[in-house]
Homo-oligomer: A and B are copies of this chain.
Amino acid sequence: MTTYHALNEQEATEIARGIEGFFPAGAPLACREIGDGNLNLVFHITDSASGKSLIMKQALPYAKVVGESWPLSLDRARIESEKLILEGTMAPGLVPVVYKYDPELSLTVMEDLSDHVIMRQGLINGTRYPLFADHISTFMANTLFYTSDLGMNQQDKKLQVKNFINPDLCKITEDLIFDDPYTVSANNNVPPAIEDAAEALRNDTQLHLEVAILRDKFLTNAQALLHGDLHTGSIFATPASTKVIDPEFAYFGPMGFDVGAVFANLILNYAGQQYWISDDAARKDFRRYLLDTIEDVWNQFDRKFRVLWNEYGIDRLANATPAYQDFYMKRLLQDTIGFTGCKIIRRIVGLAHVADIDKIPNDDIREHAQRGALTIGTELIRRHRNAQSIQELIDITETAMQ
């Protein structure tokens, strides 16, 4: 069992049984593989007698992308497990507990969150998450601050940069987010109805300049240890709880990339609500809730990050220079706005779309949402370097979807 091979349900059950003190001896375990088989196997193992359960996630040595196989290092399982454990110490309660990591099998055994819903689906259903802004802002402020040169020993940070070098997963982002949508690529998935808008993206050289600047940040700016894929499909939520999962894209990059992922996916849901909530007043209300959430996330994040900096900042010069904190937070807002735009656009014309929009069965409404999202995305990218306030992102979103 120690050499890597893809597990079957029986083997997974045996491993689960071996985790000391978890399941009662001789418990009648049931095991079901519930992954989408794209990047990982995911086993859900339950003991109906005790009611206890856990999740086992095993990395596969490839990604299945539209049928074809894309080789991927199993090292991402180590990265995911180590990042999850780190997040657990920095943002306790906001990530699943890790019970065990087996490097040979690229296997992480962790807390079962089946009582939670994937937030993307929750938002499509019109669910509100009143604690989400508080939770996700804490998650981001803590994980980003404490892995940056502001919050951790700067020599130890360099060793962590080394530990989280993640070429394969970064390559996916570099291609799918920061390149393909702006050119003719077999990786794109352009809805035929908006081919004209996709062509406009490909010809917009002014936009390409801004994307190239953001791409360069992603490639070179080792600001903090990112989650790296912080969309609403990587968040399990209930109205009372938020759990961030799947940090296999973790690497040291620009903080705004994580914050922007959250905002982009709230905006994509905003665009999709044209269909999901048919009542005008109710839709307007839910959309207001989404934009208030964005504003709230940014404001709480900004406040919490500054509190951490003021209280636990380790960089003498940064601490002694108040104007630098303002400069830093403004640049972070600008990065966030730019990355938000990139993350919206790739979900409309790039390889992987989002259910919030793609699952809209009405062609006209879906197209309207797609075009609106592209307008928001390009506007955010275009304006990001001059942005002064989160209000601009909110205004751009509202105006585009009117």
Contacts and interface: CB of A to CB of B under 8 A. Distances in A.
Interface of A: 149, 154-156, 158-159, 161-162, 165-168, 170-171, 174, 178-179, 182-183, 205-206, 208-209, 211-213, 215-216, 219-223, 315-318, 320-324, 327-328
A324 to B, nearest CB: 4
A316 B183 contact: yes
A209 B155 contact: no
A183 B205 CA distance: 45
B159 A162 contact: no
A212 B325 CA distance: 10
Given A154-B171, A161-B165, 15 more contacts: A154-B174, A155-B171, A158-B167, A159-B165, A178-B317, A182-B317, A205-B323, A208-B320, A208-B321, A209-B324, A212-B317, A212-B318, A212-B324, A213-B324, A220-B221
Query: DSSP class of A's interface residues: helix, strand, loop or mixed?
Result: helix
A212 B327 CA distance: 10
Contact of A205 (B165, B166, B211, B321): B321
Contacts of A205: 321-323
Contacts of A315: 215
Contacts of A220: 149, 221-223
Contacts of A155: 167-168, 170-171
A165 B158 contact: yes
Nearest to A153: B167
A209 B323 contact: yes
A216 B315 CA distance: 10
